[in-house]
Structure 1
Amino acid sequence: MREQKHYIVANGTIIDVENSNSFTGSIEIQESKIKTIFLPNQVLPEGIPVIDAKGKFIIPGLIDMHCHIQELYAPHFLASGVTTVRNTAGNVFMIKNLIDAPIDAPTPRVYSADRMIDGTPGQWGPTSSGNLVTDDPEEARMEVRRQAAAGVKFIKAYGWINRNVMEAVVNEAKKYDLEVSCDLIHSKDLNALDAAQIGVTWFEHASGFAQALYQGWYPRADQTQWEHLNWEEPDERKIKDLCQQMIAYNVKLCPTLIIFDQIDKSPQVWDPKNIITESLEKEHILIGHWRNMSEYQEQLKQQFAKLNQFTKVVAKTYFDLGGTVVTGTDSPALIWTFPGMAIHREMELFVEMGFSEMETLQAATVNAAKSIQLENVGSIKKGNIADLVLLNNDPLENIQHTQDIYYVIKGGKVYSQEEILKHIPSQAYVDKQLSEFEKEWEAMEK
């Protein structure tokens, strides 16, 4: 059955995120696309193999709008129902195999930025394959041109970038019709309103909002003068005023609630026990990294825990005002942001902060796709790529049911979670790929 190029997923409950409803129906899939959607009173064509989806719930493939993907753990995303990811910095040459993978590959399709553009001295160290560190606007413009030639989908600016460089990046990116994303969590000089006025489109982690409200604050600043602030009950009137100003610039937020929530709850973090997390443990993938990072949990709490409730209020307020708010995880950053599974916790947090289950699914599917102009994914309709997740229970009753996966369909190919995880590459393969990339990058830099 799973090798069929033409089949019908019959008699399931289709979650229509585009029109905010659900109905019983059957989906005819041919090659990689949805050919037809049949209602119960319509006769299904004969002679076509059928997957019986009676009692199952069908949603579009999920989209993680902020992650940092690598081949080693790419299958974990797809096994979790994440069929598309937005890779927010790294190096496009390092993940070229993922970007160029076939439409039905056992890994998510990748919409990617290249290395981030940061200011001196560089939050992640000096210039490397993963970041360009500069205070020179012309050097930044040259980097945007290089990235555009490399085929990036957007440009990522980082927290210590100065105003002149940010302006240069935005203006150069416009020439190539590329949006600019920013992470201003650690910014000392630019806040969210500054960046929006310059022309930045995307605000990762809803960052820079705190700096806009509390001039001079940033996570690593001396917190003594900010002890009067009640981060658990932030001033909602001031946040609303700021969000109304940001709405005027039509910016988009990816709050990545899970990273703040995991730090705030540490050491009692969200830790689902399932086939995905068991695979990470068995294959020794990222577990050591998170355990090492957890040793710094008190330092992380001091810097980021206060942003947990604040970010939720910002995100919900911005959404209520009509702004775009989408789901992302920053996986595998900081602590216990499990690739793929983290999006399910992110959706739980969306519901906890006041989104309905349908609104949450929309933030993780159709609204995410529309926010980056992906016109053929994110919803279940004729002509779209057949990226679907079959669930055993209704996610509109409980968003946690998105974790109970029966099948994942990627580009028309049907997979069980077990089948996807068989495609985890060996460490030897990963090491060889990294070595080859480093040689190629060194040659390009010369």
Structure 2
Amino acid sequence: MNKLYITNGTIIDVESGVTYIGTIEIEGDKIKNVHKQDKALTEGVKTIDAKGKYIMPGLIDMHCHINEGFAPHFVASGVTTVRNTAGNVLLLQKLIQSPTDAPTPRVYASDRMIDGTPGQWGPTSYGNFVTDDPEVARKEVRRQVEVGAKFVKLYGWIKRDVMRAAADEAKKYNLEVACDLINSKDLTTLDAAELGVNWLEHASGFAQEMYKGWNTMVDQKEWRHINWEEPDQEKVEALCAKILQYDVKLCPTMVLFDQAMSYPAIWSPKNRVIESIKNKKHPLEYWRSHEEIADIIKESNAIVNNLTKAIAKTYYAMGGTVVAGTDTPALLYTYPGMALHRELEIFVEIGFTELEALQTATVNAAKSIKLDDIGSIQEGNIADLVILNKNPLENIKHTKEIEFVVKGGKAYTQDEILSYVPEEEAVQRSLEAFMERWEAAGMK
């Protein structure tokens, strides 16, 4: 069994915020011991001397849409686990079943999202399921359970009775239910909580509840009397208090809106991961196509940008669960892996401490989906670690200063991880082959 020692580094206990110099003893893919003092080394064991460096757990992106083509970029960014919020579990099998020490992230995935007619992403396909029939929705939930979905994702045009049925069916199998209500015309965040939804993605549906009659589809000129730039804190607090009673969890994905609103002055630090992403057609061409409608994107996101930040800060202060996610690769330049670092920066900008921000993408994220063996550095946990050149508890921007990433007990440099980025043609052929199999099987 492979062994690895990481010595002399400053270990960050993300639960308490305590730091100490010690040695992490890794055996196989697990942390065997964490020594708070010098450890006598066994001859012949691979050792990383982390003197002057800081060691944190691997990061977790709690809302993304992963693709085989850019999966290594997550790990090169220190993101060792992702929560894939809608897609297709069967399409992701290669990533899901990858060895624990592979240079791609662990994938905690939902299957295709369940939406109402006519479907925001078109009719039923391998990536979304459209129905207004509660019993058909129940059947789809059962199919998703069979293929291995870890949770169920609902989308904004879903009908009330369908949401209730899907949430009820998922509960029978101990699956949580997430929903995205950004474009909802009928349902609000409070409706979703009352109907049994566990997760509110993008902190969506709040505006629809706070301002009845508003949604993204109505004439926005009629709502100019609302000061969207400075959210009504009294309304935010009152609604957060109601949502908290249902123990609903929030993933605000603030970077999604921040990048859109900042365009063309987007957050885009110069580093080897982002340079690698910029050399790929996908998602670069997708982002460039959105540049053409940047003004429209800004107009639609201006309403929720500051509101989402106010909600995230308020809900967390009230004791609610708030975790970090990016919605990569949505909208404009949500860089795979790297966008999570900007999300952590935004958490600090809105009032979180560096430790609290780090917790949203480590220990609190892991606990929120009951993954007990990741998210912190302790004996028995999976050895997913990031070795940094600077202290992220002094400045959250230091999470980008990556020297090594340890994934499942195997140490990589960023360049080594990026060498595993597959050829885009191969990824496209794999997708086309999957589509052929899907259609041949008559899947609906």
Q: What range is the shorter-chain TM-score in?
A: over 0.9
Aligned to 1:270, what secondary structure does the other structure show? coil
TM-score, normalised to structure 2, is 0.98
Residues 83-92 or 215-224, more deviating: 215-224
1:282 and 1:247 map into 2 onto residues whose CA distance is: 43
Note the 1:206-225 alignment, pairs <5 A. 206-225=203-222
Pair 1:280 & 2:277 matched: yes
Note the 1:419-434 alignment, pairs <5 A. 419-434=416-431
Note the 1:18-33 alignment, pairs <5 A. 18-33=15-30
Q: Shift in Å at residue 20 of structure 1?
A: 2.2
Q: Shift in Å at residue 273 of structure 1?
A: 1.6
Aligned AA (1:12): G
Q: Shift in Å at residue 49 of structure 1?
A: 3.0
TM-score, normalised to structure 1, is 0.98
Residues 377-386 or 11-20, more deviating: 11-20
Pair 1:399 & 2:396 matched: yes
2:179 is aligned, of 182, 186, 209, to 182
Pair 1:193 & 2:208 matched: no
Q: Residues 244, 414 of structure 1: CA spacing in aligned structure 2 closer, same or farther, 3 A cutoff? A: same
Q: Shift in Å at residue 31 of structure 1?
A: 0.6
2:52 and 2:81 map into 1 onto residues whose CA distance is: 26
Q: Shift in Å at residue 361 of structure 1?
A: 0.6
Pair 1:417 & 2:421 matched: no
What whole-Å deviation, never above 9, does each CA across 1:314-353 have from its counterpart, x for those lacking one? Answer: 0000000000000000000111100000000000000000
Aligned AA (1:177): N
Pair 1:55 & 2:74 matched: no
1:46 and 1:243 map into 2 onto residues whose CA distance is: 56
Aligned AA (1:239): V
How many residues align structurally?
Answer: 443
Pair 1:253 & 2:273 matched: no
Contact 1:219–1:304 (CA under 8 A) maintained in structure 2: no
Q: Shift in Å at residue 264 of structure 1?
A: 1.2
Q: Residues 41, 287 of structure 1: CA spacing in aligned structure 2 closer, same or farther, 3 A cutoff? A: closer
In structure 2, what is the equivalent of residue 307 of structure 1? 304
2:221 and 2:44 map into 1 onto residues whose CA distance is: 73
1:252 and 1:45 map into 2 onto residues whose CA distance is: 45
In structure 1, what is the equivalent of residue 66 of structure 2? 69
Aligned to 2:153, what secondary structure does the other structure show? strand
1:437 and 1:275 map into 2 onto residues whose CA distance is: 31
Pair 1:356 & 2:365 matched: no
What whole-Å deviation, never above 9, does each CA across 1:34-76 have from its counterpart, x for those lacking one? Answer: 0011112554555533210000100000000000001000000
Same amino acid, percent of matched pairs: 58
1:215 and 1:164 map into 2 onto residues whose CA distance is: 20
Pair 1:121 & 2:118 matched: yes
1:207 and 1:170 map into 2 onto residues whose CA distance is: 17
Aligned AA (2:170): A
Contact 1:351–1:360 (CA under 8 A) maintained in structure 2: yes
Give the superposed CA RMSD.
Answer: 1.1
Q: Shift in Å at residue 302 of structure 1?
A: 1.1
Residues 278-287 or 360-369, more deviating: 278-287
Q: Shift in Å at residue 19 of structure 1?
A: 2.1
1:231 is aligned, of 209, 214, 228, to 228
Aligned AA (1:159): G
In structure 2, what is the equivalent of residue 160 of structure 1? 157
Q: Residues 341, 383 of structure 1: CA spacing in aligned structure 2 closer, same or farther, 3 A cutoff? A: same
Q: Shift in Å at residue 287 of structure 1?
A: 1.1
1:38 and 1:302 map into 2 onto residues whose CA distance is: 53
Residues 24-33 or 224-233, more deviating: 224-233
Structure 1 segments of 4 or more deviating over 4 A?
41-47
2:270 and 2:211 map into 1 onto residues whose CA distance is: 40
Q: Shift in Å at residue 429 of structure 1?
A: 1.4
1:322 and 1:46 map into 2 onto residues whose CA distance is: 48
1:276 and 1:183 map into 2 onto residues whose CA distance is: 29
1:42 and 1:79 map into 2 onto residues whose CA distance is: 29
1:153 and 1:428 map into 2 onto residues whose CA distance is: 30
1:347 is aligned, of 333, 344, 350, to 344
Pair 1:148 & 2:139 matched: no
2:76 and 2:44 map into 1 onto residues whose CA distance is: 30
In structure 1, what is the equivalent of residue 127 of structure 2? 130
Contact 2:100–2:407 (CA under 8 A) maintained in structure 1: yes
Contact 1:26–1:37 (CA under 8 A) maintained in structure 2: yes
In structure 2, what is the equivalent of residue 110 of structure 1? 107
What whole-Å deviation, never above 9, does each CA across 1:98-123 have from its counterpart, x for those lacking one? Answer: 01100000100000000000001111
Aligned AA (1:348): E
Aligned AA (2:389): N
Contact 2:200–2:250 (CA under 8 A) maintained in structure 1: yes
What whole-Å deviation, never above 9, does each CA across 1:371-420 have from its counterpart, x for those lacking one? Answer: 00001000000000000000000001111100010000000000000000
Unaligned 5+ runs, structure 1 = none
Q: Shift in Å at residue 225 of structure 1?
A: 2.4
Note the 1:367-386 alignment, pairs <5 A. 367-386=364-383
Contact 2:7–2:22 (CA under 8 A) maintained in structure 1: yes
Aligned to 2:222, what secondary structure does the other structure show? helix
Contact 2:8–2:38 (CA under 8 A) maintained in structure 1: no
Aligned AA (1:107): T
